[in-house]
Amino acid sequence: MNEAGFRTVESSQVILKELMVPSYANFGGKVHGGVILSLMDKIAYTCAATHAKGYCVTASVDSVDFVNPVEVGELLTLYASVNYVGKSSMEVGIKVVSEDFKNGIVKHTNTSYFTMVALDEETRKPVAVPGLILESEEEIRRFVMGKLRKKLRRAHQQEIADIRQALSVGQEMAELKGENCQLARG
């Protein structure tokens, strides 16, 4: 058994609501993606630190695909939940939706996964986090998917590192053919 104990998923779930004010807009009048990313990082920290009952850092963020733009005046709601825990890491799943008050339409903005790692505040080394008590089929499904994503993340990082190591610019010149680039003369 994990010496840090076990906690339910529900005990660290967080909901964050924020009104999209005009100062959040980009030049096109929509909300900056960076504003949403910052809120996602904030809720990921809150959720992970609540589960770990201590200091955490963001180790990685999976791809963030904005499927719908967010308008100024809409209410953004972020839902965060710990999907999976390893020894010191936690995968926090975050769902973001935006609501237009005038017509009540709710749009899905994006879903993403943050990996947060619990650290000892003095040594700054990773520390064990409590395990998860899984109370429903949905929580079991999320845990299994989180475990799979962790494995895929590691494999992907290793693959990129191997490709980079083996890369020879001379051999890659052929890859430039047909790409949107040109070699500077001189």
Ligand X SMILES: CC(C)(COP(=O)(O)OP(=O)(O)OC[C@H]1O[C@@H](n2cnc3c(N)ncnc32)[C@H](O)[C@@H]1OP(=O)(O)O)[C@@H](O)C(=O)NCCC(=O)NCCS
Rank residues 5 and 29 by Cβ distance to ligand X and give the closer one: 5
Enumerate binding residues for ligand X (CB under 6 A).
Answer: 57-60, 86-89, 115, 117, 119, 126, 153
Rank residues 57 and 133 by Cβ distance to ligand X and give the closer one: 57
Helices then strands, counting H and E runs in the chain, come out as 3, 7
Shortest reach from residue 59's CB to ligand X, in Å: 4
Amino acid, res. 110: N
For residues 150 and 145, give the distance between their C-alpha atoms in angstroms, rounded to a whole number: 9
User: What are the C-alpha distances in Å from 156 to residues 38, 62, 111, 152, 161?
Assistant: 25, 12, 20, 6, 9
Shortest reach from residue 29's CB to ligand X, in Å: 29
What's the burial of 79, exposed, middle or buried (CB within 10 Å: 0-12/13-18/19+)? middle
What's the burial of 51, exposed, middle or buried (CB within 10 Å: 0-12/13-18/19+)? buried
Rank residues 60 and 68 by Cβ distance to ligand X and give the closer one: 60
Rank residues 110 and 115 by Cβ distance to ligand X and give the closer one: 115
Shortest reach from residue 184's CB to ligand X, in Å: 34
Q: Which residue is nearest to ligand X (CB)?
A: 86
Rank residues 51 and 98 by Cβ distance to ligand X and give the closer one: 51
For residues 92 and 83, give the distance between their C-alpha atoms in angstroms, rounded to a whole number: 6
Shortest reach from residue 89's CB to ligand X, in Å: 3
Shortest reach from residue 57's CB to ligand X, in Å: 4
